[in-house]
Amino acid sequence: MILVVGLSHRTAPVQVRERLAAGADALPMVLARLASRRELGEAMFLSTCNRVEVVALVASSSSADAARHAIREELARQGGAASGEELAPYLYEKLGDDAVRHVFRVAASLDSMVLGEPQILGQVKDAYDAAIAAGTLKGTLARCMSRAFAVAKRVRSETDIGVGSVSISSVAVDLATRIFGDLSDRTVLLLGAGEMAEAAARSLVKGARALRICNRSFERAAHLAGEMHAAAVPWEGLAEELGVADVVVASTASTTYVVTRQMVQRAMRERKGRTLLFVDIAVPRNVEPTVHGIDNAYVFNVDDLEQEVARGLQARHGHVDAAEAIVQEQVAEFIAWRRGLEVQPTLVAMRAKARTVMLSELETSLRGRLKHLGEPDRAALAQMVESGVNKLLHAPTAKLKVRAAEGEDAAELAAAVRYLFDLQNAAPPAEEAGSEEGEAPSAGEDERLPN
């Protein structure tokens, strides 16, 4: 059974989300802790600016309650909370079919702050790759994530929910434009040179008088600046840059504030009253929140952008129904596949036992009354036994598969078959033991959206 426990921009403010965030460097350790929990069969950790989630498969030997408690403990540990109760008001839980639907909707950007934004699929794929590398994703959950990528691709190609260029980065630029009216006579400083920063740069370069890029790796800043016809500035010059810039868009991976109140106070003395706008789209936040209390300094974080997002999404809402229909169709298909796993071991065991019994009887006869038969006749009899077993078991096999696909009483029927055929030692359901169909797809099997 698949379980999701997490928090998002809908349930928790940024000051809570940033406590649980895990960058690429921290992911292996987080995944190792999740893997050590016997309550979880598989696990993936997704951390973005707007959500932190654990997607897991409940271990065959555990209950959903035990798995839920284990995840809550690990999230509390990640967030430095004294107990899971401290985070409880902010967490949501999805179990079974609801969890599958949630995973598909997240990948398809139907649960994003910016509906239809493309970055989330790349972030989910990064989380998937990290879990595969850590060995925490390998069976049913890997199959679920693979299907989620296919759903996202269909939503992107078959609907117009992603029409336009609305994203967190573009919304940040729109906010700056509305506050200053026009950026053509303004200097914009971009802190960071990663994916989100690059998206912001592409929007900013069209309107700002001057775009300057500051990053810990000057080489990376220079590379992005070359592409954007901007200027790269050294990280050590950040304090001086605050005296020159009118708008600062912050998007670094730092886990501590890179712009402090003290730095801005010094800069504002040099600016002589000129307004300085910070748009902090990083989680954890890059700009100390108390900067907003300084005269003529304004700070907007990702939560503040939510109202701005609503202004640019009206055109997309008309396509939500079509996207949700794709999600629902794919959820139903995945559920049918998963239910089929529940009866597959019973079907395999039933056919194996019937075949073993019949071939054993044939072997006894071939050693006794039929020992005079030559190889052609022996082969013909063996083929007859195989054919008879197939025909005899065709109807129960087909009916059990249909019941599983329809979600009816397949589990009860499978239990009855195991009892009647004395198959009590049949293998556990493939969802628990892993199956060939559930193997993780190869690295190139799923297409990732360009960012």
Among the listed residues 49, 120, 144, 282, the single catalytic one is 49
Beta bridge mates, 232: 213
Distance CA 17, CA 20 (A): 6
Distance CA 316, CA 330 (A): 21
Spatial strand order in the sheet of 51-58: 40-47, 51-58, 2-8, 92-95
3-state SS class at 259: strand
CA distances from 236 to 120, 213, 218, 266, 280 (A): 32, 12, 10, 15, 20
Distance CA 299, CA 116 (A): 26
The amino acid at residue 190 is L
Active site residue 49: yes
Pairing between β-strand 2-8 and β-strand 92-95 as defined by DSSP bridges: antiparallel
Quickly tell me which residue has 């016997």 as its tokens. 38
* All residues at 6 or more sequence positions from 103 whose CB lies less than 8 Å from its CB, including other chains: 2, 4, 55, 144, 145, 148
* All residues at 6 or more sequence positions from 429 whose CB lies less than 8 Å from its CB, including other chains: 60, 341, 342, 344, 345
Residues in the chain: 451
Instruction: List residues with catalytic annotation.
Output: 49
